[in-house]
Amino acid sequence: MRISPWILSAAITASLAACQPAAQDANTGTAEVAPPAGTATSDERTYAFQCGDLAVQATYRGQDSATVVVGGRTFVMSSETAASGAKYGDGQGNVFWTKGTTEGTLTLAGEPDRSCTGSGTEGEAAPAATTPAASTATFRATGNEPGWLAQVSDGEVPRLHVETDYGEKKYEIAAPTQGQDGWSGRADDGTEIKLTFQRTVCEDNMSGKAFGATVMLTVGARQFHGCGDFSGAPKVAVKP
């Protein structure tokens, strides 16, 4: 039986088509290969922060996870629900919560919260903290639930710096009035602030760390309790 030349040609064409490699881009001539299923695209952004006395580097992967390096410690964190900003935690009490790339709060299990400042630029180191540095503070106090911080810096013009609600609210008082047991003054927004201390051993209720003073911070009608120390004060040992 003779095979029609037309049928033979069609069969050859179909056979050759089945053996063709992946389609090539008309402009480059390179094969277009689809990525494997489940492969994530690279979306990493790294920012540097200064959180109190600690340098912190945060690498975000999309919006779901972040790796936070604090000194020699690395924490792998997942996104958590927050009223504002971006909040990440590892489920072990370690939380990094930022608003944009220039401010935030670092919470390490068993330690007081630390307010953070960043450069706001990807890959660049954070500038020195704009709040009074611990090395220049004559007195520094902190408390928990909600986290707060108060520092009195001694310079040409003494200043009282206060942060409450995990750094959400900040107050500055230039040249506060100093008494025998603390400082007081009025912030720019008119809020009356008073920081008082008693020279008694105080143990932080989260970290167990001992301080040389028991502190009460009054901000308007609110009162906060915590512990503090003067710069250069010797460490206090707490009996187990």
Distance CA 158, CA 179 (A): 14
Tens-place pLDDT, residues 156-174: 677 899 999 988 899 999 8
The pTM of the full predicted model, rounded to 2 decimals, is 0.44
pLDDT of the residue at 110 = 86
pLDDT mean for each 10 residues of the chain (240 residues): 51 47 43 37 75 87 86 87 83 88 86 83 48 54 90 81 90 89 92 93 83 93 92 48
Residue 211 forms beta bridges with which residues? 202
Tokens describing residue 236: 């206090």
pLDDT of the residue at 31 = 40
- Specify the 3-state DSSP secondary structure of 10: helix
Domain boundaries, the chain: 44-118, 134-230
Tokens describing residue 55: 């340098």
Which CATH class name applies to 44-118? mainly beta
**C-alpha pair distances (Å), 156 with each of 40, 162, 174, 187:** 54, 19, 11, 19
Half-sphere exposure in the Cβ direction for 36 (13 Å, CA): 2
Measured at the CA of 220, the angle between CA 216 and CA 222, to 5 degrees, comes to: 55
Tens-place pLDDT, residues 203-218: 888 777 888 899 999 9
pLDDT of the residue at 126 = 43
